[in-house]
Amino acid sequence: MFSLTVEQIAKIVDGQIEGNKDIVIKKLQRIEDAGEGDLTFLARMEYEKYLVASSASAVIVPNNYKNSPKENQAFIRCEKPYEAFVSLIMHLENIRNTPKSFIHPTAVISEGAKIGENVQIGAFCVVSDGCSIGDNTVLMPNVVLYENVSIGNNTVVHSGVVCYQDVQIGNNCIIHSGAIIGADGFGFLENKETGEFTKIPQIGNVIIRDDVEIGANTTIDRALLGSTIIEKGVKIDNLVQVGHNCTIGENSGIAAQTGVSGSTKIGKRNRIGGQVGFAGHLETTDDVSLIAQSGVSKSVTKPGIYFGSPIKERMLAFKIEACLRQLPDLFAEFDKIKNELKNKQ
């Protein structure tokens, strides 16, 4: 809960006020549900119908929006309303999440661990020997750090996260609940005669650079040798599997239920839809987009948008799909012609 006047909010989002600047806002709400005391935004004109019927106390609208606010309502005019609304959310979250130095009495912290300033460590956390936690970092309850884990400044690790030994996490990261960072890679020797597997020890680690967000229940495996690396600015959704020795390039985004097999290297600024599957030991170049449920069986050397299993350039894949949809009609026409020819014999 917060309490800000329209004037205060306009200063935060750098907007111009039309209407009562002294209206008090206590909640942010989507335009369909906004009511008295709420602030919402209008970024797409197809949502204007909700604004017409809305009793929202304030609305962030485009600079060129022609209508005026109702009585007891204020508009905050901005060039980009959605971005302005997001900036306000970020501002409020930064205030709410500013950590205060606190270590819960049930937390188990090794004497050999280094804890920075303004660090918050919740109930039943385990911080093992050789760990290092940077300034203003938060460990929510039930986080477990094995030996020699390092976490940078201003990072939040949510409940239930486990980081295996030697994991490195940078500054300004968010690791969501249930994520497992640094578990063993899927490495075994198969006895061809008996079919038995012998486990190969995975002695590498995981390195997560600055400004990375890892979704809930995502797993990132440690390397056999060297490091599995998540580069700066990467955003990974929930329920993603990243195999051993992979590299995810800077500012790439991976949606839920994607599986990246071992030793795959994904380029910078890749956009990977949900349920995409990668075979192992592949590479994608920079600026590749993969539509949901695509299957990547070979390296992608050319920037572009790809779809299908195995993947093809998007327009070719769509043409093939269009042709496949016509096959029943084509077969019916073929059977008709075949029967006509047969009857003429």
Kindly report, residue by residue over 114-131, the tens digit of the pLDDT: 999 999 999 999 999 999
User: pTM for the complete prediction?
Assistant: 0.85
**Spatial contact of 154 and 135, defined as CB atoms under 8 Å apart:** yes
Domains and CATH numbers, the chain: 4-96 (3.40.1390.10), 161-310 (2.160.10.10)
CB-facing half-sphere around the CA of 40: CA atoms within 13 A: 24
> Which stretches in the chain have pLDDT values below 70?
none
- Taking only the tens place, the pLDDT of each residue in 9-20 is 999 999 999 999
Cα distance between residue 267 and residue 283, in whole Å: 7
* Per-residue confidence (pLDDT) for residue 321, from 0 to 100: 84
In angstroms, rounded to a whole number, what is the distance separating the alpha carbons of residues 55 and 184? 54
pLDDT for position 340: 83
> What does the alpha-carbon distance between residue 42 and residue 48 come to, in Å, rounded to a whole number?
7
pLDDT attached to residue 314: 83
Residue 244 bears catalytic tag: yes
